[in-house]
Amino acid sequence: MERKIDFSKFFPLEKSPLVQCITNEITCESMANALLYIGAKPIMADDPREFSQLFEKTSALLLNLGHLSEQRQESLIDASSYATRVNKPTVVDLVGYGVSDIRNQIGVSLVETHPTVVKGNISELRHFCGLPSQGRGVDSSMWDQGEDHLNELIAALQKIGGLYPATTFLATGQKDIVVNQKQTIVLNNGVDELDRFTGTGDIVGAIIAALLGEGHDPFEAIVSAVSYFNICGEKAKQESFGLADFRQQTLNQLSLLMSETWYEQVEGWEK
């Protein structure tokens, strides 16, 4: 890739950042383990009564819309306003954006606090930008991922990026789009199977939060987290048989790939 990012500096982590995750029960355990595998520390804590003390100890916050309830809504909103007050690096994952009005309202409230990173799959982010979207539940659709649709989403995110200068946006899929006010990159690693086990996007969000907790620039943290995870998937595909095994091998690579020159395989281009 043209842009000069020194990928060798991201893994292994140096500070073992403590990442607070308010997330869904479906992939919560995978997310906690993924953070441990890369050398971070997870705490899945969503009771607002703990926030004032917990926020003193954490390095980053991950807010995931995946499994809503009234209680989860309160936790997400409370945590995001706390994060704004104390300047905590925050990733908002707009899981299922477009599924319902209430999900969209909560998503917008979180984005309006100008978090460090806003992510979702391409269909979720098309919905968020007001573009037609064929997403199904929490999964994206290939229809949204043709070249014209990708370019349309890039243009929409660049426009929104101007309104949110402190936020970097990530739309994931076969290709991944990273956009902020200053720059845009398209990333091209990964394999189709990464869309065939649940929680891959959730885990990427948590890895980004860990890299923010290390103190990295948000744009670089996103590019590295997505590329690292997707190259883990590429390696896993070579060594696995069946999707359950592929999932296991992808997670296994999270702790292994960092001892190799994984960054030589990063594929992407600036737009």
List residues near ligand Cc1ncsc1CCO by CB under 6 A. 24, 26-27, 66-67, 95, 138, 198-199, 202
Q: Does 199 show up as a binding residue in the annotation?
A: yes
Length of the chain: 271
Which of these, 62, 64, 71, 24, lies nearest to 42 by C-alpha position?
62
| Residues between 97 and 156 with contacts to ligand ATP, criterion CB under 6 A | 121, 138-140
For Mg ion, which is the closer residue by CB, 139 or 267?
139
Q: How large is the C-alpha radius of gyration of the chain?
A: 17
**Residue 68 C-beta: closest distance to ligand Cc1ncsc1CCO, Å:** 9
Q: Does 44 show up as a binding residue in the annotation?
A: yes
* Site of interaction with Mg ion (CB under 5 A): 139, 195
| Residues between 173 and 202 with contacts to ligand ATP, criterion CB under 6 A | 173-174, 176, 190-192, 194-195, 198-202
CB-based contact 117:222 (threshold 8 Å): yes
- Backbone phi, psi, residue 146, to 5°: -65, 165
Which strands, in side-by-side order, build the sheet including 268-270?
A: 41-43, 18-22, 60-64, 90-93, 117-121, 168-172, 176-179, 184-187, 268-270
For ligand Cc1ncsc1CCO, which is the closer residue by CB, 119 or 149?
119
CB-based contact 173:140 (threshold 8 Å): yes
**Pattern 20-59, binding to ligand ATP, x per CB under 6 A?**
----------------------------------------
By a kind-dependent CB cut-off of 5 to 8 A, residue 24 interacts, out of ligand Cc1ncsc1CCO, ligand ATP, Mg ion, none, with ligand Cc1ncsc1CCO
Reading the block at residue 98, the tokens are 């477009």
By a kind-dependent CB cut-off of 5 to 8 A, residue 114 interacts, out of Mg ion, ligand Cc1ncsc1CCO, ligand ATP, none, with none
Contact positions vs ligand ATP (CB under 6 A): 95, 121, 138-140, 172-174, 176, 190-192, 194-195, 198-202, 204, 226, 229-230
Binding residues for substrate: 44, 199
